[in-house]
Structures are given as C-alpha cells and as structure tokens.
Homo-oligomer: A and B are copies of this chain.
Amino acid sequence: MSNAKNKDRVIIFDTTLRDAEQTPGATLALREKVEIAYQLARLNVDVIEAGFPISSDQDFNAVRRLHTRSKALLFAVCLAQFSKILTAQLKAGTEAITLFGKSWTLHVTDVLRATLEENLQIIEDSCAWLKENGREVIYDAEHFFDGYKADPEYALETLLAAQAGGAEVLVLCDTNGGTMPYQIQEIISAIQPRLDVPLGIHTHNDAGMAVANSIVALEMGATHVQGTINGYGERCGNANLCSVIPNIEFKLGKTAIGAENLKRLMELSRFVSEIANVYHDHRQPYVGESAFAHKAGVHVDAMLKQPATYEHCDAEAVGNQRRFLLSEQSGGGAVAAKLHHLIPGLDKRHPTVQKLLQKIKQLEHEGYVFEAAEASFEILARQILGSIRRPFKLINYRTINRKSVAGSEVEAIVKIEIDGQIYHTVGEGDGPVNALDSALRLALESVYPTLKDVRLEDYKVRVLSSADGTAAKVRVLVESSDRQRVWNTVGVSENIIEASWMALVDSLTYKLLLDDIIVVG
C-alpha cells in the first residue's frame, strides 16, 4: 500500500440534496436536507450541491441555510438566457456555482430553442459573468456524451466556450445514462489533448454503467466525480457514491475522503435511506447488509479457513461487517459461528447446535428470516440453551377496532402473568398494534422499568405468499432501540396483529436480555 499522501486526490461532489429528490417516492424537507448535509460534511465530502434556488423558496432557503454551515457548499444553476436564474443563484451566496450547459445540438435547437452559435456565447458569457462576480464555476456539460456521438466537434466547442469563460472544471455528463465504458474511454481520449482545464464526470445508471463509467473516467485522469448517496436520482439513479468512493480508495489507487471517514460510509448510507424513506438495498456494493454475507455452507467453511478467498475487500473498512447467514443451505458451521458470539467455545457438534439448526430450518420454512432479526435468533438460541427465562406468560389479548362516520376507536386488552401474578391492562392507540404495545407495556413496565427506554424505530410488513391475497402469511420486522443499541426482531403469522405481537414481545424480551434481567445462571 502506498502512502495516502502520495496518492492522487479525487474531488467528491455530492448532489444527493438536488438529484436524489428526483427519486420516485423520495422527498426531503428542509430540516432533513440540513441533516444530510451535516452528515455529508462529517464524511469529508468536498462539495455539497444544496439545491436549485430558482425552483422553489424551499430550495432557496436550503441553499442559504446550508451556506452558513460550510465553505464547501454549492448550488446548481440551469444555464439559460434568463438572467434572473443566474441572479437568484448569485443571491444565495455560495462561493461556487454549478452551471449546466447544453452540449447536444438536439437539445440546443429543440429544448433551448437557440442557434448553435448563440448557445456557445451563452455558455462563455455565463461562466465569465459568475467569475466576474467572484464565484468558482463548476461547468456541467449536460448530455455531453450523447452530444459528442451526434456531433463531436460541436460538443468539444461547448467545452472550449466554458473554458474560455473561466470554468474551473469541465464535468462531462452522461445525462441519459446510455453510454458504455469503452465509449467513455474513446471520447475522453479524443478530447483530453484539446483542453487545459481538469475534467469531471457525472453519470446516470440507465444502462447499469454509472459507477463503472465514473471509475473509468477517473482512471483516465478526471479529477472530479459527481454522484449521490445510494445512487438515488431520477429514473435509474445517479452514480452511487457509496460504490464510487470505496472503488477510488481500494481499486483505483487514488484517494478521496480518506480511510478513517470511509468507515462511516455504511452508517451514512442507511441514514440517507431512512431520511429519504427509501428501501435500503441490501445487495448494494460495499454498504448493503448482504454485501459481505455468506450463505452457502461451502463458502462459509472456506471463509473460516481463509477469509480473503471470498471477499474482495475488508468489510469493516466501509463500516460493514461479515455476516454468516442462517438458512436451509447453511451447515452447522454457520450456526456455530453465530453462536460463538453468544457462548464462546461452543462445539459445533454439540447436540444443542443440532437442535437449534433443526428449529431454524423449520421456522425459516414457515417464513422467518433470522438474517434480518438477529435479536429473535439470540432469544431463540438462548431459550433452547436454557440460558434465559421468559419475562411473562400470555393468558390472552384482544384488540377492538371500530370505525364510523363519527370517528374511530382502537382498544387493546392484555392479560398476562408475571411471577404468579396476573396483570390485566387496557391500552388505546392509533392502530391495534400501537394499542397492544401500550397495554403490554402498562403491565410490564411496573415490573421491568427499563422497558420505558425502548423505542420502536421501524416496523415493516411483508406478505410471504401472494397466492391467497389478504389471507397470506405476513412477516413483521421490528427495529427497536434504547438510544444506545439497536436490535431487530421478527414475527410470522397469517394474522398481522399476531405477527406484530410476536415481534413486539421479542423486542421487549431482548431489552431485558441486554439488561441482564432475564438471564439464568
């Protein structure tokens, strides 16, 4: 490994705040944008594109507010003959400005409705005007590769115009995402000798090439890369910085945010996913929950012999971890590896391991996924090992949900036994699961006061087989925390209330396990 100081440095330009909002289903409030920007700054990203000030007051305010937090913040402007756009951008007060210009003759004539000569003048003048006003100019050559394919000489002229206007970096954009890596190489090779300003790259993933095209451009000497966290963005998304950055650090032999910051990458990926309220892709390179997960028995055995054989990089370097998944295909080795954390030194041929393996197979067959619910796995293992006691015994519960024009009523009644004593409680809530949670806690918290710290962070429902419509089995996954730790539990039933109840009971049980309250012996 060469010293980081000797490595070429790549500028990371994050456009999550502007482009990720284009993701179907994702919207960000101003407060959320500020939170993301704060985390991006902590990650040591060089440039944060904060928004498009002319598009809404919210975007204008975001840019203004973010501007006060970091010197590195920028914002986007769509190049146009309308000076009010440039003026709005200038008023937002950032030290650098992204300027979009048209490289593709089709866009100039059909969208901008200008002559080719006018467009070149607009590009040069806009860059020059922002420079005169003391701003650093990042020039995004929109549709550059498509433009080049249509008319190489004109596309190059647009870059020369931006260069003449004083742009600090010329960012080549594959806006429609249809360019192949070998085309990126060919086109950059052709234009590089004719330009004096550093190149950047901005790609989209419509052909599955966003990350590859970015890395190929950087390998050829581009020094600036634009993308978003988790690759969010319109259509198929932008280049995923959670793949681009580790590839720069581990594969390209260059450096960006640095090794220490890289360890926070997975945390940031999950954080942005949560804020944007978009499913976190568990198969995502580097930062997906499954990225270092080993399922098949043969691989798990090989992994244990020699970890480098089935992992292309160290999971912990990006804040991830190696996982041994439990499934029908995994042998006793995987269960033993997992149990090893619980009971160091446990032999994998121990009868308890075999019993647990049988039980897991049966439950997974019924629809459980312990991969996503390690707390439920640990409770199950400890129950079979006899190392915990159940905190209570259920006698019965009941939920009643009534809706009419007058409004709605939701009630849950729970009857449980703790240490020979009966607790009969009633709870209300917005929904039946919430009401059950209230009633159960009312009974449990008087005996186990630390349960007051448990918060339900997330609640997911998945139908396991769609063949029977609403009568199909559902799997409920609950994420809980006590502000210090986070854990996941699972419940499966044909009844959503019962599946939720199971995951809820496991969640509270796990807290008592963590607090050493129900541990036996």
Task: State the A residues within 8 Å of B (CB).
Answer: 21-25, 27, 78, 104, 106-107, 110-111, 143, 146, 175-178, 180-182, 205-209, 211-213, 215-216, 219, 231, 234-237, 240, 243, 246-247, 250-252, 274, 277, 279, 281-286, 288-296, 298-299, 302, 305-306, 308-313, 325, 327-329, 364, 369, 371-372, 394-405, 408, 410, 429-434, 437, 455-466, 469-472, 474, 479, 493-498, 500-501, 504
Residues on B with C-beta less than 8 A from A493 are 431
Cross-chain contact A405 with B394 (CB below 8 angstroms): yes
Interface centre among A107, A181, A213, A402 (most CB of B within 10 A): A181
Whether A437 contacts B495 in the complex (CB less than 8 A), given A206-B291, A395-B404, comes out as: no
Cross-chain contact A176 with B311 (CB below 8 angstroms): yes
Cross-chain contact B236 with A205 (CB below 8 angstroms): no
Cross-chain contact B181 with A215 (CB below 8 angstroms): yes
Residues on B with C-beta less than 8 A from A23 are 283, 290
Q: List the B residue with the shortest CB-CB distance to A285.
A: B208
A461 to B459, CA, bound (A): 9
Closest 7 CB pairs of A and B: A178-B312, A456-B469, A212-B212, A396-B404, A461-B461, A430-B494, A431-B495
Can you sample 25 A-B contacts with CB below 8 Å? A22-B296, A24-B293, A24-B327, A24-B371, A106-B306, A110-B305, A178-B312, A180-B215, A180-B251, A205-B285, A206-B291, A207-B285, A208-B211, A208-B240, A208-B247, A234-B295, A235-B293, A274-B466, A399-B401, A403-B497, A408-B498, A457-B466, A458-B466, A459-B469, A460-B461
Min CB gap A10→B, angstroms? 14
Cross-chain contact B277 with A464 (CB below 8 angstroms): yes
A329 to B18, CA, bound (A): 12
Min CB gap A55→B, angstroms? 8
Among B21, B460, B466, B474, the residue within 8 A (CB) of A462 is: B460
Among B206, B231, B463, the residue within 8 A (CB) of A312 is: B206
Residues on B with C-beta less than 8 A from A252 are 180
Min CB gap A362→B, angstroms? 14
Q: How many copies of this chain does one complex carry? A: 2
Q: List the B residue with the shortest CB-CB distance to A456.
A: B469
Cross-chain contact B313 with A178 (CB below 8 angstroms): yes
Residues on B with C-beta less than 8 A from A311 are 176
| Interface of chain A, main secondary structure | mixed
Min CB gap A481→B, angstroms? 10
Residues on B with C-beta less than 8 A from A429 are 470-471
Cross-chain contact A25 with B369 (CB below 8 angstroms): yes
Cross-chain contact B176 with A310 (CB below 8 angstroms): yes
A78 to B313, CA, bound (A): 25
Known: A208-B240, A234-B299, A434-B471. 14 other contacts (CB 8 A): A21-B329, A25-B372, A182-B219, A207-B243, A207-B246, A212-B213, A234-B294, A236-B291, A401-B495, A408-B495, A430-B495, A431-B470, A431-B493, A461-B461
Cross-chain contact A395 with B402 (CB below 8 angstroms): no
Min CB gap A76→B, angstroms? 12
Q: List the B residue with the shortest CB-CB distance to A58.
A: B328
Residues on B with C-beta less than 8 A from A408 are 495, 498
Residues on B with C-beta less than 8 A from A208 are 211-212, 240, 243, 247, 285
Residues on B with C-beta less than 8 A from A207 are 211, 243, 246-247, 251, 285-286, 312
Min CB gap A181→B, angstroms? 5
Q: List the B residue with the shortest CB-CB distance to A430.
A: B494
Min CB gap A213→B, angstroms? 8
Cross-chain contact A180 with B471 (CB below 8 angstroms): no
Residues on B with C-beta less than 8 A from A295 are 22, 24, 234
Among B212, B281, B371, the residue within 8 A (CB) of A209 is: B212
Residues on B with C-beta less than 8 A from A504 are 470
Q: List the B residue with the shortest CB-CB distance to A239.
A: B208
A306 to B493, CA, bound (A): 51
Min CB gap A256→B, angstroms? 15
Cross-chain contact B237 with A283 (CB below 8 angstroms): yes
Q: List the B residue with the shortest CB-CB distance to A458.
A: B466
Residues on B with C-beta less than 8 A from A110 are 305-306, 309
Cross-chain contact A470 with B456 (CB below 8 angstroms): yes
Cross-chain contact A309 with B111 (CB below 8 angstroms): yes
Q: List the B residue with the shortest CB-CB distance to A212.
A: B212
Cross-chain contact A403 with B470 (CB below 8 angstroms): no
Cross-chain contact B431 with A494 (CB below 8 angstroms): yes
Whether A459 contacts B432 in the complex (CB less than 8 A), given A236-B285, A291-B235, comes out as: no
A252 to B181, CA, bound (A): 11
